[in-house]
Amino acid sequence: MKKTLSLIAVLIFFSTSLFAQGFKVKASGDQTFNFADRGGRNQATFFSTTPLEDINGLTNDVKGTVTFNVSDLKTLKGKISVSVASIKTGIDLRDEHLRSEDWLNASANPEITFTIKNVSNLKVLEDNKLEAKVTGDITINGVTKEVTSDATLTFLDESEMTKSRAPGDLLGVQAKFKVRLSEFGVKNKIIGQKVAEIVEVGVNMVGSNAN
């Protein structure tokens, strides 16, 4: 009987260790990170192709918050938003077209949002660095669809180095996923060029848990 109980206790211990994967850092408990960008470091990018040339879009107007338990990243919840009007592709005329009704309709839908629903396939890379698949609802052009992104999260305890960026602990997030334009009611033509149906999206941002 004792052996059985000991075995169960060991199994519970290991299963908890296996399923509750998180950061091994100084901070503990629930933490909320704000991605308010003071230095223009946060960014969302997109990459697409046309028969003539590739299109690289970029915006630094990315903001939002995420909350999670430091020792269990599966508790991750939050929302990230990107201002449509701020997206640039390097050509002013093309940017105007991107904001038009045929594309992202910036006047009616000024923001692209991503609301985190769940986290899976967690993989510990280092004590303060994890890889995961983050699933959430993305809203583009007023249409909401579920997407799963490959994300890397890095937790930095507050130090003299991090203070130069922002007060508090820092959370770095790099994520990428693909979206199909037709699913979001986007007519994939831009200044007469046929744009690839699938667009690669990337997010690279840093948040702080300081109030």
Partner 1 sequence: MNKNQKIILIVGLLLIAVILIYWQTQGGDILTKTQVQVEKVDELFNTTYMEWEDKFVLGLDYAGTASAVIAVLSGILIFLFRNKKQEKQ
Note the residues at the interface with partner 1 (CB under 8 A): 40-41, 43, 45, 52-53, 56, 58, 88, 90-92, 94, 154, 156, 161-162, 165, 170, 172, 174, 204, 206
Rank residues 17 and 92 by Cβ distance to partner 1 and give the closer one.
92
CB 203 within 8 A of CB 174: yes
CB of 47 to partner 1, least distance (A): 11
DSSP symbol at 109: -
Amino acid at 201: V
Give me the residue label for tokens 């994300």.
151
* Identity of the residue, 2 or 53, whose beta carbon is nearer to partner 1 in the bound complex: 53
CB of 126 to partner 1, least distance (A): 11
Residue listed under structure tokens 């599966």:
74
Cβ of residue 9: shortest distance to partner 1, in angstroms?
Answer: 39
Tell me whether residue 79 or residue 94 sits nearer to partner 1 (CB atom): 94
Q: What is the distance between the alpha carbons of residues 114 and 184, in angstroms, rounded to a whole number? A: 14
- What ranges in 75-125 are assigned the alpha helix state H? 92-99
Is 43 or 115 the residue whose CB approaches partner 1 more closely?
43
Cβ nearer to partner 1, comparing 58 with 124: 58
- Closest approach, Cβ 75 to partner 1, in A, equals 22
The full DSSP string for 129-160 is EEEEEEEEEEEETTEEEEEEEEEEEEEE---H
The nearest distance, CB 189 to partner 1, in angstroms, is 15
